[in-house]
Structure 1
Amino acid sequence: MKLSYAVLVTSVLTGVVAMGGVAVAVGAGSSGSAAQTAAADMPPSAVEDFQYPQAEADAALAARGIKLKSGDGHIVYTTCGTDVDPNRIEVYSHIEPNKPFCFRVTGNSGSLVLELPRVYAVRSNDYKVHVDMTVENTQVSFDVPKNEWVGVGKTTDPQKRDHALVALTASK
């Protein structure tokens, strides 16, 4: 069986595309049209941008005034239950005193970038939590040991300034 050059190039390109690669046909009489067609038929690349799902972020902002920006997917905003959840981080803010903002850690570690103003305390449960905050364009950080309540932000500031929580990082 004798194959023409165009059939051979198309067969090779189809195999390369099926394996997720990109090839360019070069040779006598090749106009590149087979390569252009194969490249046009490829699906767009899937690149994770780590943005928080928009619908969930919009709902949290509307309901409670918290901006969820991005993360690795292992710390997620959740409702607070009455039970003790070892995977939950509780954050207290003066925008809703005595009503925590809760986050569930779904792996051995996780990170979340957010914006929550006027934070004054964090409870860690079974994770060590690193908290990044800003106050008057200055970043400050706090470490919360496992199973501890820690005063952060305004409660530790000699000037009693409001601090915004901008990042949570958790690890077992």
Structure 2
Amino acid sequence: MSGFNSLNRTNIILQHLRMSKHTDAAEVLLKRKGCAGVITLNRPKFLNALNLSMIWHIYPQLKNWEQDRETFLIIIKGTGGKAFCAGGDIRVIFEAGKANQKIAQDYFREEYTLNNAIGSCRKPHVALIHRITMGGGVGLSVHGQFRVATFSLFL
């Protein structure tokens, strides 16, 4: 993905995890359903805001599914009823900046690398966009071949 050596990459991961008040264990779900690879953003409390950990889980799986002869389609969606993805986790980047940590550059480099992988993916990429979609959520959706956008009123 990036030209980091292992030690630098590990340090960046540790910095990010220290700044985050939640665990990454289930922030993104990656499953095969039939012939489709399904990416589910799973941070509804944070409107599925994208963080480095999520990117680091999505990117290699996207590449694996792109090479897999059994996978014909890649779908990305969000959990909860409020958002597909409200963008990047700006709170973590802001807090890192206050602590003189340079996560912002790493975050955006990795995010745009993922966006490029989505845009150049040889398999159809379908984004199921529901309600709030901003910043990083736009990047996860508009670079793919297909977007299905829904709308519902807040009642």
Q: The TM-score by the shorter chain falls in which range? A: under 0.3
Give the structure with the larger strand fraction: 1
Q: TM-score by structure 2 length?
A: 0.27
What is the TM-score normalised by the length of structure 1? 0.26
Higher helix share: 2
Task: State the structure with bigger RCO (CA 8 A, min sep 6), 1 or 2.
Answer: 2
